[in-house]
Protein backbone atom coordinates (compact mmCIF):
# COMPACT_ATOMS: atom_id res chain seq x y z
CA UNK A 1 0.00 0.00 0.00
CA UNK A 2 1.18 3.52 -0.79
CA UNK A 3 1.36 6.24 1.85
CA UNK A 4 1.36 10.05 1.82
CA UNK A 5 5.14 9.81 2.35
CA UNK A 6 5.43 7.95 -0.96
CA UNK A 7 3.48 10.75 -2.63
CA UNK A 8 5.77 13.33 -1.00
CA UNK A 9 8.82 11.54 -2.43
CA UNK A 10 7.22 11.38 -5.85
CA UNK A 11 6.49 15.12 -5.76
CA UNK A 12 10.05 15.87 -4.61
CA UNK A 13 11.47 13.84 -7.46
CA UNK A 14 9.30 15.56 -10.07
CA UNK A 15 10.53 18.42 -12.20
CA UNK A 16 7.09 19.74 -13.16
CA UNK A 17 3.78 18.66 -11.63
CA UNK A 18 0.33 19.21 -13.10
CA UNK A 19 -2.56 18.89 -10.65
CA UNK A 20 -5.93 17.69 -11.93
CA UNK A 21 -8.94 18.12 -9.64
CA UNK A 22 -12.53 16.89 -9.60
CA UNK A 23 -15.54 17.10 -7.31
CA UNK A 24 -13.85 15.03 -4.59
CA UNK A 25 -11.54 17.86 -3.57
CA UNK A 26 -14.50 20.17 -2.98
CA UNK A 27 -16.78 17.75 -1.13
CA UNK A 28 -14.43 18.41 1.80
CA UNK A 29 -15.65 22.05 1.58
CA UNK A 30 -19.28 20.90 1.78
CA UNK A 31 -19.99 21.13 -1.95
CA UNK A 32 -21.96 18.10 -3.11
CA UNK A 33 -20.63 15.88 -5.87
CA UNK A 34 -23.23 16.48 -8.56
CA UNK A 35 -22.77 13.19 -10.32
CA UNK A 36 -22.62 10.82 -7.38
CA UNK A 37 -25.64 8.76 -6.31
CA UNK A 38 -27.69 11.03 -4.07
CA UNK A 39 -26.00 14.04 -5.72
CA UNK A 40 -27.86 17.00 -7.15
CA UNK A 41 -28.35 15.48 -10.61
CA UNK A 42 -30.05 12.42 -9.21
CA UNK A 43 -32.74 14.69 -7.67
CA UNK A 44 -32.98 17.45 -10.26
CA UNK A 45 -32.75 17.47 -14.06
CA UNK A 46 -29.75 19.34 -15.46
CA UNK A 47 -30.68 22.17 -17.83
CA UNK A 48 -29.18 21.61 -21.26
CA UNK A 49 -27.58 24.50 -23.09
CA UNK A 50 -30.01 24.49 -26.03
CA UNK A 51 -33.00 24.51 -23.70
CA UNK A 52 -31.53 27.46 -21.80
CA UNK A 53 -31.10 29.39 -25.05
CA UNK A 54 -34.48 28.47 -26.44
CA UNK A 55 -36.87 28.54 -23.52
CA UNK A 56 -37.55 31.38 -21.12
CA UNK A 57 -39.08 29.03 -18.53
CA UNK A 58 -35.82 27.06 -18.51
CA UNK A 59 -33.81 30.25 -18.05
CA UNK A 60 -36.05 31.25 -15.18
CA UNK A 61 -35.53 27.84 -13.56
CA UNK A 62 -31.76 28.09 -14.09
CA UNK A 63 -31.62 31.49 -12.39
CA UNK A 64 -33.84 30.27 -9.57
CA UNK A 65 -31.29 27.52 -8.92
CA UNK A 66 -28.42 30.01 -9.04
CA UNK A 67 -29.99 32.39 -6.54
CA UNK A 68 -31.43 29.69 -4.29
CA UNK A 69 -27.89 28.44 -3.82
CA UNK A 70 -28.91 24.91 -4.77
CA UNK A 71 -25.31 23.94 -5.50
CA UNK A 72 -23.98 25.41 -2.23
CA UNK A 73 -21.10 27.13 -4.01
CA UNK A 74 -21.83 30.44 -2.41
CA UNK A 75 -20.06 30.79 0.90
CA UNK A 76 -17.93 27.66 0.48
CA UNK A 77 -14.32 28.01 1.63
CA UNK A 78 -11.25 26.26 0.29
CA UNK A 79 -10.10 23.33 2.45
CA UNK A 80 -6.74 21.76 3.32
CA UNK A 81 -6.57 20.05 -0.07
CA UNK A 82 -6.94 23.35 -1.96
CA UNK A 83 -4.37 25.00 0.30
CA UNK A 84 -1.83 22.23 -0.32
CA UNK A 85 -2.32 22.63 -4.08
CA UNK A 86 -1.82 26.39 -3.69
CA UNK A 87 1.50 25.69 -1.91
CA UNK A 88 2.67 23.47 -4.78
CA UNK A 89 1.93 26.29 -7.20
CA UNK A 90 3.55 28.96 -5.00
CA UNK A 91 6.69 26.82 -4.65
CA UNK A 92 6.90 26.56 -8.44
CA UNK A 93 6.62 22.78 -8.15
CA UNK A 94 3.29 22.61 -9.96
CA UNK A 95 2.83 24.62 -13.14
CA UNK A 96 -0.97 24.63 -13.21
CA UNK A 97 -4.21 23.15 -11.93
CA UNK A 98 -6.59 21.61 -14.44
CA UNK A 99 -10.01 21.43 -12.80
CA UNK A 100 -13.40 19.97 -13.56
CA UNK A 101 -14.85 22.08 -10.75
CA UNK A 102 -16.71 25.34 -11.24
CA UNK A 103 -16.55 26.57 -7.64
CA UNK A 104 -13.60 29.01 -7.87
CA UNK A 105 -12.03 27.46 -4.74
CA UNK A 106 -8.55 27.13 -6.28
CA UNK A 107 -8.52 30.87 -6.94
CA UNK A 108 -9.98 31.49 -3.48
CA UNK A 109 -7.08 29.52 -1.97
CA UNK A 110 -4.59 31.85 -3.67
CA UNK A 111 -3.77 30.16 -6.97
CA UNK A 112 -3.44 32.92 -9.58
CA UNK A 113 -6.19 32.95 -12.24
CA UNK A 114 -3.77 32.20 -15.03
CA UNK A 115 -2.63 28.97 -13.35
CA UNK A 116 -6.16 27.53 -13.15
CA UNK A 117 -7.47 25.81 -16.26
CA UNK A 118 -11.23 25.39 -15.94
CA UNK A 119 -12.60 22.64 -18.18
CA UNK A 120 -16.21 23.17 -17.11
CA UNK A 121 -16.14 26.92 -16.58
CA UNK A 122 -16.86 28.88 -13.41
CA UNK A 123 -20.14 29.30 -11.54
CA UNK A 124 -19.03 32.27 -9.46
CA UNK A 125 -19.67 34.86 -12.15
CA UNK A 126 -21.86 35.49 -15.21
CA UNK A 127 -20.88 35.87 -18.83
CA UNK A 128 -22.73 37.24 -21.85
CA UNK A 129 -23.25 34.49 -24.44
CA UNK A 130 -23.16 37.11 -27.22
CA UNK A 131 -20.37 39.59 -26.38
CA UNK A 132 -18.58 37.76 -23.56
CA UNK A 133 -18.82 40.61 -21.04
CA UNK A 134 -18.41 39.54 -17.42
CA UNK A 135 -21.10 40.38 -14.85
CA UNK A 136 -21.20 39.47 -11.16
CA UNK A 137 -23.86 37.28 -9.54
CA UNK A 138 -24.85 40.18 -7.29
CA UNK A 139 -25.59 42.42 -10.30
CA UNK A 140 -28.80 40.54 -11.02
CA UNK A 141 -29.78 39.04 -7.68
CA UNK A 142 -32.29 41.65 -6.56
CA UNK A 143 -33.98 42.27 -9.91
CA UNK A 144 -34.45 38.51 -10.24
CA UNK A 145 -35.45 37.56 -6.72
CA UNK A 146 -37.62 40.66 -6.11
CA UNK A 147 -39.15 41.26 -9.52
CA UNK A 148 -38.51 38.08 -11.50
CA UNK A 149 -36.41 39.93 -14.10
CA UNK A 150 -34.37 37.50 -16.13
CA UNK A 151 -30.76 38.74 -16.36
CA UNK A 152 -29.62 40.24 -19.66
CA UNK A 153 -26.29 41.73 -20.75
CA UNK A 154 -25.85 45.35 -19.71
CA UNK A 155 -23.80 46.11 -22.81
CA UNK A 156 -25.58 44.31 -25.65
CA UNK A 157 -28.84 43.02 -24.16
CA UNK A 158 -27.86 39.48 -25.08
CA UNK A 159 -28.46 36.30 -23.10
CA UNK A 160 -26.24 35.87 -20.08
CA UNK A 161 -25.50 32.68 -18.15
CA UNK A 162 -23.19 31.66 -15.32
CA UNK A 163 -19.77 31.10 -16.85
CA UNK A 164 -20.09 27.33 -16.54
CA UNK A 165 -20.03 24.88 -19.42
CA UNK A 166 -23.57 23.45 -19.38
CA UNK A 167 -24.60 19.97 -20.41
CA UNK A 168 -24.79 20.03 -24.20
CA UNK A 169 -22.47 23.04 -24.51
CA UNK A 170 -19.16 22.73 -26.39
CA UNK A 171 -15.99 22.29 -24.35
CA UNK A 172 -13.96 25.52 -24.14
CA UNK A 173 -11.34 25.22 -26.90
CA UNK A 174 -8.68 27.48 -25.46
CA UNK A 175 -8.83 25.79 -22.06
CA UNK A 176 -8.72 22.32 -23.63
CA UNK A 177 -5.67 23.31 -25.67
CA UNK A 178 -3.88 24.71 -22.61
CA UNK A 179 -4.71 21.61 -20.60
CA UNK A 180 -3.19 19.45 -23.31
CA UNK A 181 -0.06 21.58 -23.49
CA UNK A 182 0.39 21.43 -19.71
CA UNK A 183 -0.28 17.69 -19.62
CA UNK A 184 2.40 17.02 -22.23
CA UNK A 185 4.94 19.24 -20.42
CA UNK A 186 4.69 17.59 -16.98
CA UNK A 187 6.57 14.62 -15.56
CA UNK A 188 4.09 14.01 -12.72
CA UNK A 189 0.33 14.19 -13.22
CA UNK A 190 -1.47 14.30 -9.88
CA UNK A 191 -5.21 13.52 -9.81
CA UNK A 192 -7.13 14.71 -6.73
CA UNK A 193 -10.78 13.78 -6.26
CA UNK A 194 -11.89 12.60 -9.66
CA UNK A 195 -13.26 9.18 -10.47
CA UNK A 196 -12.00 9.77 -14.05
CA UNK A 197 -15.18 8.73 -15.80
CA UNK A 198 -16.14 12.00 -17.53
CA UNK A 199 -14.53 12.50 -20.93
CA UNK A 200 -12.85 14.38 -22.50
CA UNK A 201 -11.46 15.50 -19.10
CA UNK A 202 -10.49 11.97 -18.09
CA UNK A 203 -8.34 11.72 -21.20
CA UNK A 204 -5.64 13.98 -19.72
CA UNK A 205 -4.16 11.51 -17.21
CA UNK A 206 -4.08 8.89 -19.96
CA UNK A 207 -2.32 11.36 -22.22
CA UNK A 208 0.23 12.18 -19.50
CA UNK A 209 0.88 8.50 -18.86
CA UNK A 210 1.35 7.72 -22.54
CA UNK A 211 3.76 10.64 -22.77
CA UNK A 212 5.95 9.09 -20.06
CA UNK A 213 4.85 11.11 -17.03
CA UNK A 214 4.20 9.39 -13.73
CA UNK A 215 0.59 9.26 -12.60
CA UNK A 216 -0.58 9.59 -8.98
CA UNK A 217 -4.24 9.37 -7.95
CA UNK A 218 -5.74 10.40 -4.61
CA UNK A 219 -9.47 9.69 -4.42
CA UNK A 220 -11.88 8.41 -1.81
CA UNK A 221 -13.07 5.58 -4.07
CA UNK A 222 -11.39 3.46 -6.74
CA UNK A 223 -11.12 5.16 -10.15
CA UNK A 224 -11.16 4.00 -13.75
CA UNK A 225 -7.40 4.55 -14.03
CA UNK A 226 -6.06 3.07 -10.77
CA UNK A 227 -4.64 0.13 -12.71
CA UNK A 228 -2.32 2.31 -14.82
CA UNK A 229 -1.27 4.69 -12.01
CA UNK A 230 2.16 4.65 -10.35
CA UNK A 231 0.62 5.54 -6.99
CA UNK A 232 -2.97 5.28 -5.72
CA UNK A 233 -4.30 6.47 -2.36
CA UNK A 234 -7.94 5.92 -1.42
CA UNK A 235 -8.12 8.47 1.40
CA UNK A 236 -9.37 11.98 2.19
CA UNK A 237 -7.54 14.51 0.01
CA UNK A 238 -7.02 17.19 2.66
CA UNK A 239 -5.39 14.69 4.97
CA UNK A 240 -3.12 13.16 2.33
CA UNK A 241 -2.06 16.47 0.79
CA UNK A 242 -1.38 18.12 4.14
CA UNK A 243 0.96 15.24 4.96
CA UNK A 244 2.56 15.16 1.49
CA UNK A 245 3.14 18.88 0.82
CA UNK A 246 5.06 21.02 3.29
ZN1 LIG B 1 -23.33 41.16 -24.19
End-to-end CA distance of the chain: 22
- Report pLDDT digits (tens) over 67-90: 987 766 667 899 999 999 999 999
Average pLDDT over residues 3-29: 97
**Alpha carbon 17 to chain centroid distance?**
17
What is the set of domains in the chain, with CATH numbers? 1-30+77-119+171-246 (3.40.50.1220), 32-72+121-164 (3.30.1600.10)
- The answer on pLDDT for 97 being more than 70 is yes
**Residue of 82, 83, 106, 120 with catalytic role:** 120
What is the CA(122)–ligand 1 centre distance, in A?
Answer: 18
Instruction: Beginning with the edge strand found earlier in the chain, give each strand of the sheet holding 160-164 in spatial order.
Output: 134-136, 121-128, 160-164
Q: How far is the CA of 166 from the centre of ligand 1 (A)?
A: 18
How many CB atoms within 10 Å of residue 222?
Answer: 12
Judge whether residue 113 has pLDDT over 90. yes
Say what the pTM is. 0.92
Rounded to the nearest angstrom, the distance between the alpha carbon of 140 and the centre of ligand 1 is: 14
If you measure from the C-alpha of residue 130 to the centroid of ligand 1, how many angstroms do you get, rounded to a whole number?
5
Each residue of 139-186: pLDDT tens digit? 999 999 999 999 999 999 999 999 999 989 999 999 999 999 999 999
% of the chain exceeding 90 in pLDDT: 85
pLDDT digits (tens, 9 = 90+) for 199-215: 889 999 999 999 999 99
120 assigned to active site? yes
What's the mean pLDDT in 6-16?
A: 98
Amino acid sequence: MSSPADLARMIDAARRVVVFTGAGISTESGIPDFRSPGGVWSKMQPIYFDDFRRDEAMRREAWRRVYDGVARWVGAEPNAGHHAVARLIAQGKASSVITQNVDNLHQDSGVPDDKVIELHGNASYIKCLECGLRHELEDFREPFTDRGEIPACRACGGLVKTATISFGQAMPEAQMARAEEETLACDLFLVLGSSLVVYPAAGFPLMARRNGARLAIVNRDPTEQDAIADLVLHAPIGEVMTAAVS
